[in-house]
Amino acid sequence: MAKNFLETFLQNYMVPILIILLLVLVIIIVYHRLRFVYLSYRKRQYHIKISDALTELTFSGYEGELLKAEVSKFIARFPYHKKWFKRLLLSSILDLSLNLKGDLIYQVREIYMAFELHKYSLKLIKHPYWNIKCIGINHFQAMNFVHGQKYIKPYMTSKNVILRSNAYIAHLYLTTEPLDALVDYPVPLSRVNMYKVIDVLYMKHDTIPKNIANWLEAKNDTIVILGLKIMVFYNYTAASEKIVFLLDHEQIRVREEAILSIGELFLIDAEEALHNQFDKEEKLLKIEILKSLAVIGSDTSVSFITNVLKRKHLDKDVKMELLRSLKSIDNQYYDTRFILDLEIDRMKAHLNCAYL
């Protein structure tokens, strides 16, 4: 009895329900696909029109009420009320701001505000999800929307690392204060954000922080590394002693950056310190030391490299870098030495001809 009931139930109810659900699912998939194709087509059509209109607004020099009037005409001509269109317009404005320089950047910001897209960006910043907040923060940063700083600051102490980092970088872009206070920044910075800070200095044409030498003594190791990168960016050599002192730092990343900085800044007084550091380091930093010696090395380094090359059981990569540095420092000496050493001779042949 129970078996017959189950078969009847499956045949009369479950199978039709499953078929209906499958048909509904197919209809939904087809609908979304067709909608996607349709919107993609419309976006391609409107993208050119938006670009032309924005270019005209940017170079027209319209300000104040006149700009608002032109924006109102634009809104009347296009489906501005649609979310997809507003996103497309915002994307076009952001792209335009990246390709312009000088006062035109500020004109694009005025257009951004005239369309009230800053309110849309603010909604994103207030969104409950951190990744959406980051999008809104990046909008304010890209548009140099200085009035948005007060909405970004609360997230500079967020527990979410990515959100906090994005908020802090945006703050650096938008603030008119010098970056000297960054020396006390307590949170580790990623490599990407270090380069973003340098990009801030470049974009804003800021002078090097007045207390940059103190950055090399910061408790936050990433600030020490950032300080070295900024010194290289500005070709700042006044803190050479502090840079050399960092060769004994406990963190390998700091030592690596100090070694790179010595070569980039051509700190010839650090030559002996690099010699002394060589045997203390692992393979990676040994190679970085040799690269810096190739730039600043003198006859002293020639003797140092020669003595190291005489050692047995040298790592082949280190040995190759030793020869490369020797060739850079004194090419004539490089050509006339180690002629009877078959392994070194093969390495020299490789260095002399890249095709081997």
Q: How many CB atoms lie within 10 A of CB 152?
A: 24
Distance CA 198, CA 327 (A): 34
Write out the chain's pLDDT in tens, 356 residues. Answer: 555 666 665 666 676 777 778 888 888 888 778 777 766 777 777 788 888 888 888 888 788 888 889 889 888 888 888 888 888 889 888 888 887 777 788 888 999 999 999 999 999 999 999 999 999 999 999 888 988 999 998 998 888 988 988 898 898 888 888 888 888 888 888 888 888 888 888 877 788 999 999 999 999 999 999 999 999 999 999 999 999 999 999 999 999 999 999 999 999 999 999 999 999 999 999 999 999 999 999 999 999 998 998 888 888 899 889 988 998 998 888 778 776 667 777 787 777 775 44
Q: How many CB atoms lie within 10 A of CB 345?
A: 12
Query: Is the pTM here over 0.95, yes or no?
Result: no
Q: What is the pLDDT of residue 6?
A: 64
Q: What is the pLDDT of residue 221?
A: 94
Using the structure block, give the residue that is written with the tokens 């020099």.
61
Q: What is the pLDDT of residue 98?
A: 80
Q: What is the pLDDT of residue 52?
A: 85
Q: What is the pLDDT of residue 51?
A: 85
Q: 267 Cβ partners below 8 Å, 6+ apart? A: 237, 240, 243, 244, 261, 296
Q: What is the pLDDT of residue 340?
A: 63
Q: What is the pLDDT of residue 355?
A: 47
Q: What is the pLDDT of residue 314?
A: 87
Q: φ and ψ at 6, to 5 degrees? A: -65, -45
Distance CA 135, CA 64 (A): 28
Distance CA 301, CA 269 (A): 12
Residue closest to 301 by CA, chosen among 340, 249, 258, 262: 262
Distance CA 76, CA 145 (A): 26
